[in-house]
Structure 1
Amino acid sequence: MSSCIFCDIIDRKAEGHIIYEDDLVCCFMDKYPINPGHVLVVPKRHAAEFTDVDPASLQAVILAAQKAAKAIESSFETDGITVMQNNGIFKDVEHYHMHIVPRYKGDGFGWVEPEIDVSSVDLEALEQKIRGAMTK
């Protein structure tokens, strides 16, 4: 494996503002935050994709994310919290991570949904395809 900045932060080989860690996860401040207080929750065991994370680490990630969200909400006067993660070409670090972002009305961050003609989507066919894949 080539160098991973998140593994380096976890191993204290790179600077990171760690706010919480246990045996399975490490939580630290995002170096390029969407809003101040933006935290990353990272499994200590390296996995590039969400689908590669072992079940124990994945459980620890979501529980640490909940803990971080509560801490952010109690530390800042947020209007809400956004919890998100990206996979494939949409992530900027090749180590699975979850973002916990404090949100404020009018902060300019948002989700842009494409305009799709839902009348042309065959939901039944999609359901059958995904259901079949989940039973494998």
Structure 2
Amino acid sequence: MDDAIEAGGGGAQDSTCAFCRIVTGAASAHRVHEDGEVVAFLDQRPLFPGHTLVVPRSHVETLTDLPEAAVGPYFTAVRRVTGAVERAMEADGSFVAGNNRVSQSVPHLHMHVVPRRRKDGLRGFFWPRSRYADESEAREVAARIRAEL
């Protein structure tokens, strides 16, 4: 990371990253939560009002880059923000999601917390779903994943 700077309480930052700039205060955002590990702020282009992004303070690009020791604190914050968004927006529930590289608009780990209402027009997943050709294919795919764990 050539453009790295250190930020107090959060680890390495990338000064060219839009979310690192929010974390350090170099860019403004409507923050809803922050602690030593994460910053949560409103998405500038929300699916619905209250759509919040939760980012680790340290610059990591994907979930698989997040150090194991940071996983618990990060997802504890995501869980807390999710409950707060649901209550604040009087939502029926929420959609919590993140992308790794593909469709990741900012290469800094972030989870979307989107308040949901029944019949709000958002249709589950945003991609077509399919089935495995047969049980044999499903077993083979499961075995490949288990082998990587």
TM-score (norm 1): 0.90
1:104 to 2:124 alignment: no
Cα deviation, residue 132, structure 1: 0.8
Structure 1 residue aligned with 2:102: 89
Do residues 123 (structure 1) and 141 (structure 2) align?
no
CA shift for structure 1 position 99: 0.7
Aligned with 2:102: secondary structure? helix
* 1:133 aligned partner: 148
Report the identity percentage: 34
**Displacement after TM superposition at 1:7 (Å):** 0.3
Deviation of 1:56 after TM superposition, in Å, equals 2.6
> Residues 128, 79 of structure 1: CA spacing in aligned structure 2 closer, same or farther, 3 A cutoff?
same
Q: How does 1:1-136 map to 2 (within 5 A)?
A: 1=1, 3-110=16-123, 111-120=125-134, 122-134=137-149
Unpaired stretches in structure 1, ≥5 consecutive residues: none
Structure 1 counterpart of 2:132, one-letter code: V
8 A Cα contact 2:33 2:41, kept in partner: yes
Deviation at 1:115, TM superposition (A): 4.7
Whole-angstrom distance in 1 between the partners of 2:69 and 2:86: 26
Identify the range of structure 1 (22-31 vs 106-115) with the bigger mean alpha-carbon deviation: 106-115
In 1: Cα distance, 2:118 partner to 2:31 partner = 27
C-alpha contact 2:85 2:115 (8 A) present in aligned 1: yes
How many residue pairs get aligned? The number is 134
Provide, for residues 71-91 of structure 1, a one-character-per-residue CA deviation record: whole Å limited to 9, x for no partner. 112212212111100111211
Q: Is the 8 A contact 2:132 2:138 kept in 1?
A: no
Structure with larger RCO (C-alpha < 8 A, sep 6+) = 1
Q: CA RMSD in A?
A: 1.6
